[in-house]
Amino acid sequence: MKPVITIVVPFLNEQNHLEDCLRSLRAQTFRDYELIVVDNGSTDRSLAIAQRYADRVLHESQIGPDLARHRGFVEAKTELLASADADTIYPPNWLEQIVRILERRDVVAVFGPLAFKESPSWRRKLELRGYTTLVRIMYPLGVPLAGASNLGCRKSAYLEVGGFPPLAHLANADFRLVKRLARLGRVVFSPNLHAYTSNRTFVQLGVWRVVPFTLRIWLDIALERNRVPSAHYLAVLKRKSRQ
């Protein structure tokens, strides 16, 4: 019998994070789902880890998490989709909440706040509140802070707006995708739909570099300029220029 929802997890050399992610997804209270993982060219132990937990392992040769995620979405056999990230862990009721909200006929997508998994519990609570506050400020301004690591949507709506491929070369394609989805129906922000992701980007780049770049992206999305490229897209261009 076909499952109710499909979880899609793209990964590229995530051996230090992937097992914790997949364990948390296998511990969900809602059990009627398929777990698809999409290998984006890993050279470490990630693929072996994925094969122990996933229902299906796909391979996407085009580099970029959005393109790998798209492959999983297209291959999914269900109308409901849940988007997860390899460096993120999920509370047991995460999937149950997504299904309950997406079962409303007028809802095309749902997303929730993120906190850092490396933070102590008290700081996580502050991070979740901060994220929720930012959503309530930015969403009316045209920027849904809907990270692909904590997102659910309808496959029919996803395909109708073109999915990730037309946006994959742009920074924060997930925000841009959800903005398009909102034209088709309700997009729900659920403050109780928590997920805990890695803080490695902030550690590597530092807050003083992350904050101004983030503001630049928000303006690019709010004004629909579509000029800020993604880091993965720039990396691919740089690699091709060397060939």
Q: What is the pLDDT of residue 133?
A: 97
Tokens linked to 172: 């924060």
- Identify the three-state secondary structure at position 11: strand
Q: Which residues touch 208 (CB under 8 Å, ≥6 apart)?
A: none
Q: In angstroms, rounded to a whole number, what is the distance separating the alpha carbons of residues 63 and 160?
A: 23
In angstroms, the CA 228 to CA 220 distance is: 7
pLDDT at res. 238 = 57
Q: How far apart are CA 30 and CA 90, in angstroms?
A: 12
Mapping DSSP to helix (H, G, I), strand (E, B) and coil, where does residue 159 land? helix
pLDDT of the residue at 234:
56
Number of CB atoms found within 10 A of residue 95's CB:
25
**DSSP tag of 46:** H
Q: Give the angle subtended at the CA of 76 by the CAs of 73 and 79, to the nearest 5°.
A: 90
Q: Give yes or no for a contact between 192 and 114, defined as CB atoms under 8 angstroms apart.
A: no
Boundaries of every domain in the chain: 5-242
Q: Which helix (H) or strand (E) holds 132?
A: helix 121-138
- What is the rounded CA–CA span in Å between residue 98 and residue 82? 7
146, 175 Cβ separation under 8 angstroms: yes
> Quick check: 100 and 188 in contact, CB under 8 A?
no
For residue 57, give every residue at least 6 positions away whose Cβ sits within 8 Å of its Cβ, in sequence order, or none: 36, 37, 38, 39, 47, 50, 51
148-to-51, 88, 127, 164, 242 alpha-carbon distances in Å: 22, 11, 18, 11, 31
pLDDT of residue 37: 98
- Please give the pLDDT value at position 236: 57
Q: Which CATH number fits domain 5-242: 3.40.120.10, 3.40.640.10, 3.40.50.720, 3.90.550.10?
A: 3.90.550.10
pLDDT of residue 235: 62
Q: What is the pLDDT, as a whole number, of residue 242?
A: 58
Residues of the chain falling short of pLDDT 70: 207-208, 232-243
Q: Are 33 and 76 within 8 A, CB to CB? A: no
Mind listing the pLDDT tens digit for each residue in 92-151? 999 999 999 999 999 999 999 999 999 999 999 999 999 999 999 999 999 999 999 999
Burial class (CB in 10 A: 0-12, 13-18, 19+), 215: exposed
CA angle 205, 209, 212 (to 5 degrees): 145
